[in-house]
Amino acid sequence: MRDVIMALIAGVIVGMLFKFLKLPIPAPPVFSAVVGVFGVYFGGVLLEWITKLVQH
């Protein structure tokens, strides 16, 4: 959980820095894009879990 909080804090700081420098924010601007990134990560984790399950 600590990693998640640290990542959130780092993301907020980077977002504020980019906005202060008037640069485009380096993140998907649409919620569906964020969900897609999560889906890619979750798919990798799921495949890893299934692989471990089949090997045992």
Predicted pLDDT of residue 20: 93
Predicted pLDDT of residue 34: 80
Predicted pLDDT of residue 51: 93
Q: Classify residue 18 by burial, with Cβ atoms within 10 Å: 0-12, 13-18, 19+.
A: middle
Predicted pLDDT of residue 31: 83
Predicted pLDDT of residue 17: 92
* pTM of the predicted model as reported, rounded to 2 decimal places: 0.54
For residue 29, give the DSSP letter. S
At 28 the three-state DSSP class reads coil
Q: What is the mean pLDDT of each run of 10 residues along the chain (56 residues)?
A: 87 90 81 84 92 89
CA-based torsion, 10, 12, 18, 24: positive or negative: positive
Q: Classify residue 55 by burial, with Cβ atoms within 10 Å: 0-12, 13-18, 19+.
A: exposed
Predicted pLDDT of residue 2: 87
